[in-house]
Structure 1
């Protein structure tokens, strides 16, 4: 059974991974004590978005919470610039009730099932990191912020000897949440696993092509340079249904264009629905954004 990291161990693990840490207030002792199911054993990390904007206000919200849900609301706040404000080293109100089957999968380090139940107290088992983002699908996720998420996940996994399968999104813990919205947790886990294969703090070679961001990324109708890069490759392949563009906003023209690519690949009709799949995406060889 994995005991919680001490404040010094948590701080050292993050800094060793190259995380820019800001120790905020009395973070070492600011926690929810032994409420609920307590704190530990620790089994993983949950990534959230704040549904807010601005560093100061987002950090204060996570530190103080609100009437219905007292703070701390996470262990750290990851800003758009990639800074990580540590606000707690103990139990925090971030995960809430979730699916015990998901926890079992995280412990076994295997893909998680779609969550359905709310029978397990996640606050006892997971570190939680809130990322400053409106969560509307169009608020951008800067490279610095995504890099910080990757490093935070890798730092805690490395400290416990876990793989990236131990890092999940809040929406993968409970069907009552949508966060984080705007990037793929599967792609993030791939990034974390690549980092875990290197020495602490060392740069990770970027993949030659843009990794598959996941079907849910597209079904949130994102606004992203990834969409533009995909559209340009579709045009190059003669698979364009664009009247103008392509541009960063995912539209029905992108769906229609990708359907042409699926047909060009010779895929079965049931796989030609315009929503990218991993193999179809990889075959398109989209330059890294």
Structure 2
């Protein structure tokens, strides 16, 4: 039960709009408004967004980061401008050495909170890495991880044995010559001192969750993407690194370095920093076929 989520009876006119909007049907008997104290309430706050008299209150939220919305502004976003904004999003792999300040990080986390979340759970958490010492320890462990993987990839017998204990997706990768060559190249670059996982990014954001239901992985990726769009608006560059995400997820030592438990699932790894390269135009994208049934 939440003491922060209340109905101001002085402002409420019992118009019933909140009851009509509520998908959990948490109406108070004999009263025409929702019951935020009902355990079935998912805290989606849709009732708050439709209340014409602002009678529904939620305290201690991110109002300092997310300002009051102007409905006129929401309808003034031009579709062409929005599409252009989407098209200029790039995965950045070269960054200035300038650090990202705390206020900016707070804005990114606030942007992440506006995603659609399975069951409104928002179970994802963020671990932000700025320390060069932590990055160094993490890169050392990841280098060891990919050294072991490279040994398996280069040996047909070990590949066949490993395939017996992995899922269908991993077996597909092990059988794919192009993937094996990519892994060999990755290991060679790591062994020569390159950083093909973190690219010297000043900030690494690990998005993780101990929860396994309903949709923590999907929520984490959506949260990360909202962060990439806000970062772009703030003049920052980002890059999702799936290779780092999979390696950290498989390494108890990496989780120990990050002060995470064995139960933490790493759902996304996002690089963040001020881009060193200024892209002048969008990259081309091939048209996708739309199948209508």
Does TM, scored on the shorter chain, surpass 0.5? no
Query: Which one scores higher on RCO, CA 8 angstroms, separation ≥ 6?
Result: 2
TM-score w.r.t. the length of structure 2 is 0.23
TM-score w.r.t. the length of structure 1 is 0.23
Bigger helix fraction: 2
Q: Quick check: which has more Rg, 1 or 2?
A: 2
